[in-house]
Structure 1
Amino acid sequence: MTIDISWSALAMFSAVLLIPVLINWHFQLSLGKDIAISLVRMAVQLALLGIYLQFLFDLDSLWVNVLWLALMLVVGASAIIGKAKLPQKALFIPVLSGLILGLSPLLLILLFALLKPSPVYSAQYLIPLAGMLLGNSLSANIVALQRLFNALSEKTSEYEAYLALGANRQQATLGFVQTAMQQSFAPVLASMTTVGLVTLPGMMTGQILAGSDPIIAVKYQLVILIAIFVMLSISIATTLSLTVRIAISQTGLVKLTSR
């Protein structure tokens, strides 16, 4: 049984936000405006999301769920490119393709083979699962793209040396792509290594607080962590491979740079 939190109790708990506000004031961090905007947006967006998800769960329409999933993918791809400070128009398709290829097979396996909700497109499962997988893929994709373009900018002579030796664009950028992938995988690998010892994952914690058996919560958390790592692997590999093709001409000329 889930213990409800009253709005008045939530408002009282929010008073702890005075602590970071005072820290900002004491250390003169000049983050007051950013903190205020972030807190207001967080509260408004979550409230609207709660209302919308309640409507979405009650409606449970296949086409509405698919449309919402498509919107999540488009916004996610746009956010990755924007945060990486790269040309939006040129890289939108590579990034979106990486997210779709990473997310789609995992959702199909989870919904049709593992969880088998009724109906199989149930918004209660489809939307949260997609949200967790996409949310955990954003930062890793941003890191991967930033590292790739930084390497092309900072190690131009090394890149040109490979081309001079007869390497094609894939061969010349292989080392850069490898480094970008290694660095983007590092946070999730560290999280997987320390889970259960240093960290107690959010999904598992939420299920336990909702009254689920801890073993069941562990099973769900294992499924999500595995799915996140697989999606990261597919989406980043696809995004970087397609980005190299678009950002660099067949002759090796770098056509795109970070802003």
Structure 2
Amino acid sequence: MDDAPEGNHPFLTYGNVGIAAAFVVLDVSVSFVLKLGVGTSLLISAVRCVIQLSLMGLVLDKIFATKHPAAVFGLAALLMLLGTLETTIDKCKTRFRYMFPSVLFAFVCSVMPISIIGSIFAIKNVPFWTPDQYVPILGMLCGTTISALVVVITATLKELHDNKDKTETMLAMGATRYEACLPIAKDSLTLALTPVINQMSVLGIISIPGLMSGAILGGSSVEQAAKLQMIMMFLIASSTALATIVITVIALSIVVDPEHRLRSDRIDTRDVAVHRAFFAAVHGIAYEFRRISDRVFGLKKEDDEEHERLLG
């Protein structure tokens, strides 16, 4: 039966998910009524969440069943590739030249070594790639790293694009690109790492983190759950910091070249080509629909006028 408990845990169905989703629908309704402009994004994200987690559940079932390192590392490569696509195509509205390989490089340099070393030495998984232990670590590192990368890239490129006169003045007065870019890097990294730093500072006092709650619900002792949360928080913070530092250095090195010149031509503020093609197609369809509607209703209006003229 759907309501039958599984061990000490209730068996959840999509009906339970729907109850939780009702609160999201309420927020969307409030946004539409007050015209706040966040309802559509919230609704799309909620739908994506359901679809993506459902698919992820099917994939993880297969990977956990195989217990083969090739499947685990294949999933790791897929997660980092999707994370790179999400960062470069969907989340970042401003991009720089060679952004895709740069973001992928930042992912590989931060998430992979920290997840592997943390799994081996901090969590002591044997083998370290054990699917039900390593995959959740990898997923949490990737998720937090994506958010930080988006923030640091957006802040860095916005400063270089909007306040380029300031940077160009410093370079013209003899500053090296390191000296001219250091304040930008500091501000961008501070902005990107503030959520992680704040999260670490309030754990255990103001909030009980999800991982710790999950471990307790899974039957672990509170002490062990707390230690696991500490380990994961440190892994997340280190991965996020390393990835943001790497991508900031790469972005600044590309936009400000070795000749100490600001290359604004290497910053692209246009929509991604995929988005431009999509919007062009939508606008084309809308234009044709409006043209056909005008013809149909225009003819109908002419017929009505002719009918009224004959009657009158």
Q: TM above 0.5, one fold?
A: yes
The DSSP-based 3-state class of the residue aligned with 1:230 is helix
Q: Distance in 2 between matches of 1:161 and 1:142?
A: 27
- Identify which range, 169-178 or 40-49, moves more after superposition: 40-49
Cα pair 2:96 2:267 within 8 Å, conserved: no
2:113 is aligned to 105
Q: Deviations over 1:160-190 (max 9, x none)?
A: 1211122222221111111111111111111
1:136 is aligned to 144
- Identify which range, 157-166 or 142-151, moves more after superposition: 157-166
Q: Deviations over 1:20-69 (max 9, x none)?
A: 24423542446665454433332222122112111110111111111110
1:78 Cα deviation from its structure 2 partner: 2.1
1:199 and 2:211 matched: no
Cα pair 1:81 1:88 within 8 Å, conserved: no
User: Which sections of structure 1, spanning at least 5 residues, go unmatched?
Assistant: none
1:159 is aligned to 167
The letter for the 2-side match of 1:73 is M
1:109 Cα deviation from its structure 2 partner: 1.6
1:7 is aligned to 13
Indicate the structure (1 or 2) with the bigger Cα radius of gyration.
2
1:95 Cα deviation from its structure 2 partner: 1.4
Q: 1:225 to 1:156 in 2, by over 3 A?
A: same
Q: Deviations over 1:56-88 (max 9, x none)?
A: 101111111111101111111222223122347
1:53 is aligned to 60
The DSSP-based 3-state class of the residue aligned with 1:117 is coil
Q: 1:22 to 1:56 in 2, by over 3 A?
A: same
1:122 is aligned to 130
1:148 is aligned to 156
Cα pair 1:73 1:100 within 8 Å, conserved: yes
Q: 1:249 to 1:13 in 2, by over 3 A?
A: same
Q: Distance in 2 between matches of 1:67 and 1:242?
A: 26
Cα pair 1:168 1:250 within 8 Å, conserved: no
Where relative contact order (Cα < 8 A, 6+ residues apart) is larger, the structure is 1
Q: Distance in 2 between matches of 1:21 and 1:238?
A: 37
Q: 1:69 to 1:89 in 2, by over 3 A?
A: farther
| Percentage of pairs with the same residue | 24
1:223 is aligned to 231
The letter for the 2-side match of 1:257 is I
Q: 1:96 aligns with which of 104, 111, 118?
A: 104
Count of paired positions: 259
Cα pair 2:189 2:245 within 8 Å, conserved: yes
Q: 2:190 aligns with which of 182, 192, 211?
A: 182
2:267 is aligned to 257
Q: Deviations over 1:197-255 (max 9, x none)?
A: 22211111111122221111100110011111111111111111111222232221314
* TM-score, normalization by structure 1: 0.90
Cα pair 1:98 1:235 within 8 Å, conserved: yes
The DSSP-based 3-state class of the residue aligned with 2:267 is coil
Q: Distance in 2 between matches of 1:21 and 1:223?
A: 36
1:75 and 2:85 matched: no
Q: Distance in 1 between matches of 2:201 and 2:236?
A: 14
Q: 1:15 to 1:258 in 2, by over 3 A?
A: closer
Q: Distance in 2 between matches of 1:257 and 1:38?
A: 28
Q: 1:171 aligns with which of 154, 158, 179?
A: 179
